Amino acid sequence: MVLRSEILVNKNVLPTAEQALPGRETPMALPEKHFVFTETPLLGPFFENAVDFAIFGLGCFWGAERRFWQREGVISTVVGYAGGFTPNPTYEEVCSGLTGHTEVVLVVFDKDKLSYRELLAMFWELHNPTQGMRQGNDIGTQYRSVIYCTSPQQLKEAEASREQYQAELSKSGFGEITTEIDQAPTVYFAEAYHQQYLAKNPDGYCGIGGTGVCLPPSLQGN
- Orientation angle between helical segments 152-171 and 116-126, nearest 10 degrees: 40
Is 206 annotated in the active site?
no
Q: Distance (Å, rounded) from C-alpha 116 to C-alpha 109?
A: 9
Report the phi/psi class of residue 73: left, alpha or beta, with left for phi > 0 and alpha for psi in -120 to 50.
left
Listed as own residue / partner, the contacts of 216-220 with beta carbons closer than 8 Å and 24 or more positions apart are: 216/168, 219/117, 219/121, 219/161, 219/164, 220/117, 220/118, 220/121
Residues designated catalytic: 60
